[in-house]
């Protein structure tokens, strides 16, 4: 127990005194999570709406693909992106490998399946009459999308939180594409890996504690949403 | 595009000719996944059954906690196991740090939440009369557990597959705890990391990625079939 205790007693002051390296890692992690989730939402929500509302051939296949892409190992996804971004690769001109922008792009790609698969499921979980009625009343594609998003907002928000969560805790893709460069493009998770491999355990523990704090915050957000979700369902039923 | 094509052309023979390094990686990876999933089932099923069938105080809180552990970053589990197994740590006497045993322990710990959280969910999804009837007919705890497991078997199998999948794809904990040592405790996923970052050996990384993807696709296929039979939603997710 001594080791754990010793590392902890050296880790806590780093957090309390706001160690500058730690602060910059926290700031970059938040940037990654926010940028990746926002971009994934901008790209993914239209796809989720198409899967959830569309009545075209191959819709079911698209959904299976979206669900399956959730299972894609992040290291493999990261490596494929890395190959695209190598100077000789198809997107080499963008010079994204071992840069912060590369990390943003990689994390966006990893967040995308969460947004698409979970939002589409939330839209499909809406009471079946609701959208049918809107269609009958002559709602256009755009109005229908707005209605679906508004009604499924709890599920869509949960999808965003899941996307934020992976961005916080993922290491494989970030390390491959970003190179895990100290003081540059490290996130809390990849910095934990780096410090532990360098046998600086107190630093690793300090970073890990901050990471747990952020994840707990997200979980509380999710719990609050679920709670609110119950309320909304109740209100919906009582109105009907 | 020529570049990607070239790399792929060098990668394919590595797979088809049964390269020793890649075969060995595959074998280690499967062993880690099997040990972790079995370990998690042995430890997790009794807890999952207690949460799913029990009628004690705090059951609901425990279940929320179990669900929450699913969201914890794997790298933290890895760091925790490393600090336990280091020579100065609590389990230091076992000399497990940077060995396959440490990888087994870390992956078992990471697989556990899947079993503990998803088993009660599967049991609670059973028709409500079923277990009550068995209770009324005088089934003991052992009988009740067997019945619940048999009826909820599709859900439990899905949980085991999800756990197996994470064990295959996970890198953070494996690298921290095992040290990513080539030809020893490297898994397919952690080998991709080292082939790219340390050696810039893309054909090897590509060949390993293809093998890993193949394994994951088999699992996703199994899960999809189970899902259709069980009529439930469980998404497979890798970390």
pLDDT at A220: 87
CB atoms within 10 A of CB A78: 30
pLDDT digits (tens, 9 = 90+) for B161-186: 989 998 999 999 999 999 999 999 99
Report the pLDDT value the prediction gives residue A234, as an integer from 0 to 100.
Answer: 37
User: Which residue among B84, B209, B237 places its CB closest to the CB of A76?
Assistant: B209
Q: Residue B169 is encoded by which pair of tokens?
A: 């794809």
Q: Check whether B100 has a pLDDT greater than 90.
A: yes
Write down the pLDDT at residue B45: 96
Q: Report helix, strand or coil for B238.
A: coil
Measured between CA atoms, how close is A75 to chain B, in angstroms?
A: 6
Tokens of B146: 């067997």
3-state helix, strand, coil in chain B (%, to 5): 75, 0, 25
**B209: which chain A residues are within 8 Å (Cβ-Cβ)?**
75-76, 79-80
Please report residues of B whose CB lies closer than 8 A to that of A7: 83
Instruction: Name which of B7, B213, B237 is nearest A83 (Cβ-Cβ).
Output: B7
Q: For residue A218, what are its two tokens?
A: 């997200």
In a domain, B122, yes or no: yes
B36 against A69, higher pLDDT: B36
Q: Which of B1, B68, B193 sits opposite A172 (nearest CB)?
A: B193
Nearest CA in chain A to B197: A176
- Residue B194's CB is within 10 A of a number of other CB atoms, namely 19
**pLDDT > 70 fraction of chain B, expressed in percent and rounded:** 96
CATH number at residue B71: 1.10.3720.10
Any domain includes B158: yes
- Chain A closest CA to B55's CA: distance in Å? 23
Determine how many CB atoms are found less than 10 A away from the CB of residue A130: 14
> Least CA distance to A205: which residue of chain B?
B79
- Spatial CA neighbour of A125 closest among A147, A155, A150, A145: A155
| pLDDT of A38 above 80 | yes
pTM of the complete model:
0.90
Q: Check residue B38 and give its pLDDT.
A: 97
pLDDT digits (tens, 9 = 90+) for B56-99: 888 888 888 888 888 889 999 999 999 999 988 888 889 999 99
CB A209 within 8 A of CB A18: no
pLDDT surpasses 80 at A233: no
- Report the number of distinct structural domains present in chain B: 1
Q: Please report, for residues B48, B49, B114, B133, B140, the alpha-carbon distance to residue B144 in angstroms, rounded to integers and kept in the order given.
A: 13, 10, 22, 10, 6
Size of interface A-B (CB pairs under 8 A): 152
Longest dimension (CA), chain A: 70
Under the banding of pLDDT at 50, 70 and 90, the label for residue B232 is low
Position A230 pLDDT exceeds 60: no
In A101-219 the beta strands, taken as DSSP E runs, fall at: none
The verdict on residue B239 lying in a domain is: no
Q: Which of A76, A116, A162, A210 to mutate to test the interface with B (most CBs of B within 10 A)?
A: A76
- Confidence tier at A99 by pLDDT (50, 70, 90): very high
Distances (CA, A) of A167 to A188, B17, B71, B76: 10, 37, 12, 15
pLDDT, tens digit, 9 for 90 and up, residues A40-80: 999 999 999 999 998 888 888 888 888 888 888 999 999 99
Interface of B with A in 131-170 (CB under 8 A): 165, 168-169
Q: Across the interface, do A166 and B86 touch by the CB < 8 Å criterion?
A: no
Q: Given phi > 0 = left and psi -120 to 50 = alpha, else beta, which region is B200? A: left
Q: What 3 state SS string does B129-170 have?
A: HHHHHHHHCCCCHHHHHHHHHHHCHHHHHHHHHHHHHHHHHC
List, in sequence order, every beta strand (DSSP E) within chain A: none
Tell me which of B141 and A239 has the higher pLDDT: B141
Residue A238 has pLDDT above 60, yes or no: no
CA distance A173 to A73: 9
Residue B198 lies in a domain: yes
Distance from CA of B94 to the nearest CA of A (A): 15
What's the pLDDT at B179?
92
Query: Is the CATH number of domain A2-239 2.130.10.10?
Result: no
pLDDT given for residue A236 in this prediction: 37
Cβ distance of B7 and A75 shorter than 8 Å: no
Q: What share of chain A is helix, strand, coil (3-state, %, to 5)?
A: 80, 0, 20
Give the side-chain half-sphere CA count within 13 A for B44: 26
- Paired tokens of B9: 């052309």
Residues B106 and B96 sit within 8 Å (Cβ to Cβ): no
Q: Tell me the chain B residues in contact with residue A79 when contact means C-beta distances shorter than 8 Å.
A: 192, 196, 205-206, 209
Residue B33 lies in a domain: yes
pLDDT score for B54: 86
Question: What is the mean pLDDT of the segment spanning B217-228?
Answer: 85
Q: How many angstroms away from the CA of B150 is the closest CA of chain A? A: 27
pLDDT at B223: 84
Residue B125 lies in a domain: yes
Supply the Cα-derived Rg of chain A in whole angstroms: 21
User: Confidence band (pLDDT; 50, 70, 90) for A237?
Assistant: very low
* Cβ–Cβ below 8 Å for B172 and A7: no
Compute the distance between CA of residue B132 and CA of residue B138 in angstroms, rounded to an integer: 10
Helices (H), A54-99: 59-69, 74-85
Give the pLDDT confidence score for residue A240 in this predicted structure: 29
- Residue B202 structural domain: 2-230
How far is B223 from B219, CA to CA, in rounded Å? 6
Q: Is residue B114 part of a domain?
A: yes
Residue B157 lies in a domain: yes
Distance from C-alpha of A74 to C-alpha of A97, rounded to nearest angstrom: 16
What is the DSSP-derived secondary structure letter of residue A94?
Answer: G
The interface predicted TM-score of the complex, written ipTM, equals: 0.90
């Amino acid at each position: 127990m001594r080791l754990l205790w010793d590392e902890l007693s050296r880790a806590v002051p780093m957090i309390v005194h706001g160690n500058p390296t730690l602060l910059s890692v926290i700031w970059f992690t938040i940037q990654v999570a926010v940028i990746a989730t926002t971009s994934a939402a901008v790209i993914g929500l239209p796809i989720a709406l198409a899967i959830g509302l569309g009545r075209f051939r191959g819709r079911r296949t698209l959904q299976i693909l979206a669900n399956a892409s959730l299972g894609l190992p992040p290291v493999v996804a990261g490596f494929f992106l890395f190959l695209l971004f190598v100077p000789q690769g198809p997107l080499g001109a963008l010079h994204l490998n071992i840069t912060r922008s590369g990390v943003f792009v990689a994390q966006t790609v990893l967040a995308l399946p969460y947004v698409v698969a979970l939002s589409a499921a939330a839209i499909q979980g809406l009471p079946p009459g609701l959208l049918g009625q809107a269609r009958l009343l002559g709602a256009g594609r755009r109005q229908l999308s707005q209605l679906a998003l508004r009604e499924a907002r709890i599920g869509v928000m949960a999808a965003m939180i899941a996307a934020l969560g992976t961005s916080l805790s993922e290491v494989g893709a970030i390390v491959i594409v970003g190179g895990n460069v100290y003081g540059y493009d490290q996130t809390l998770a990849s910095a934990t890996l780096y410090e532990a491999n360098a046998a600086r355990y107190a630093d690793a523990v300090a970073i890990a504690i901050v990471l747990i704090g952020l994840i707990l915050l997200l979980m509380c957000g999710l719990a609050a949403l679920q709670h609110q979700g119950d309320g909304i369902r109740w209100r919906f039923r009582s109105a009907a | 595009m020529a570049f990607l094509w070239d790399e792929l052309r060098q990668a394919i023979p590595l797979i088809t000719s049964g390269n020793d390094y890649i075969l060995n990686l595959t074998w280690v990876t499967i062993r880690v996944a099997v040990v972790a999933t079995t370990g998690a089932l042995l430890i997790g099923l009794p807890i999952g059954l207690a949460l799913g069938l029990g009628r004690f105080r705090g059951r609901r809180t425990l279940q929320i906690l179990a669900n929450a552990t699913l969201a914890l970053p794997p790298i933290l589990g890895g760091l925790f196991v490393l600090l336990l197994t280091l020579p100065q740590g609590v389990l230091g006497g076992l000399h497990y740090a940077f060995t396959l045993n440490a990888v087994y322990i870390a992956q078992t710990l990471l697989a556990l939440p899947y079993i503990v959280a998803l088993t009660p969910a599967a049991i609670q999804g059973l028709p409500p009369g079923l277990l009550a009837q068995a209770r009324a007919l005088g089934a003991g705890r052992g009988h009740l557990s067997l019945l619940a497991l048999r009826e909820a078997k599709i859900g439990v199998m899905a949980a085991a597959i999800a756990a197996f999948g994470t064990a295959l794809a996970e890198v953070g904990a494996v690298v921290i705890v095992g040290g990513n040592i080539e030809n020893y405790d490297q898994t397919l996923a952690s080998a991709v990391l080292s082939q790219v970052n340390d050696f810039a050996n893309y054909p090897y990384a590509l060949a390993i990625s293809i093998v890993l993807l193949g394994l994951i696709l088999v699992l996703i296929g199994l899960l999809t079939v189970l899902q259709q039979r069980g009529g439930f939603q469980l998404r497979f997710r890798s970390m």
